[in-house]
Amino acid sequence: LSPDCSFTCHYRCRALVRLDCSGPLGTGDEDDGSEQALEKDTNVDEPSEWEKTELDQAQVEQRIKEYNSQINSNLFMSLNKDGSYTGFIKVHLKLVRPVSVPATKRIPSVQAGRPGPRTQGVKRRTSFYLPKGTVKHLHIFSHTRASEVIDALLRKFTVVDNPRKFALFERSEKDEQVYLRKLADEEQPLRLRLLAGPSEKVLSFVLKENETGEVNWDAFTLPELHNFLRILQREEEEHVRRLRHRYARCRQKMQEAL
């Protein structure tokens, strides 16, 4: 647990982590404050205006030309001979719970009378928080489904959690409000990207936990549940510490005034 940024990782993984954590520790209340203030009127049910738009072959070709003319990078879309097209989407990973990845610990092979450097692998799992602001570009087809995008993201980060624990959302900003809509498994993100254009304010993709109401704790393994309990305890202790610090400062100010 870093004293500066509260980044948490497994103690055996600490030497492998490279983060710039030189900044001072904040109060925690201002994290993502602008985002939370912007999303206070989030509407998750209202469909986007391009959701039901249908395009013929000529319209698809014209949209791709317009899209490519508006971007300032080399992340172009390309039309294929069979009428499909390929392109890039950017996904923001905003996960509030830790994810599990495989970890292999090498331990010596103990054999009487045969000492040596032989080792054997022991399969383990470890959990950690993805850093805030994590973004991933994916090159996909027009027929790639939202569920396949989730699978690809989990493979990129070697996450071994069940893909059903996650959901892909479309996010848009309009009239100082943020609209979030969970994509169905069969929806095609690249098609939505083409219809909305390259603007991130008009449309962006976000990977979040698949919130379906109550958390299904039975879907987690025992090591994950124990890890969650430890994380909750640390969060509680940190919250109590900040509250005590805040009240101590208020008490000090009052005493100075007296």
Identify which of 45, 51, 91, 64 has the alpha carbon closest to the alpha carbon of residue 204: 91
Could you tell me if 186 and 227 lie in one domain?
Answer: no
**Residues 155 and 210 grouped into a single domain:** yes
Q: Is residue 198 part of a domain?
A: yes
Residues 168 and 204 in one domain: yes
CATH code for the domain in which residue 141 is found: 3.10.20.90
One-character DSSP codes across 9-74: --GGGGGG------SPP--SSSTTHHHHHHGGG-BSSSPPTTTT----HHHHHHHHHHHHHH-SSS
Quick check: is 32 in a domain? no
Domain assignment of residue 240, given as a range: 218-249
Q: For each of the chain's 258 residues, which pLDDT tens digit applies?
A: 444 455 666 656 666 665 555 444 444 443 444 454 444 444 454 555 556 677 788 999 999 999 999 988 888 999 999 889 999 999 999 988 888 888 764 434 434 444 444 445 445 677 778 888 899 999 999 999 999 999 999 999 889 888 988 999 999 988 888 888 999 999 999 999 999 999 998 999 999 998 755 666 777 788 888 888 888 898 899 889 999 999 999 999 999 999
Residue 61 located in a structural domain: yes
Residue 116 forms part of a structural domain:
no
For residue 240, tell me if it sits in a domain.
Answer: yes
Total number of domains in the chain? 2
**Shared-domain flag, residues 44 and 134:** yes
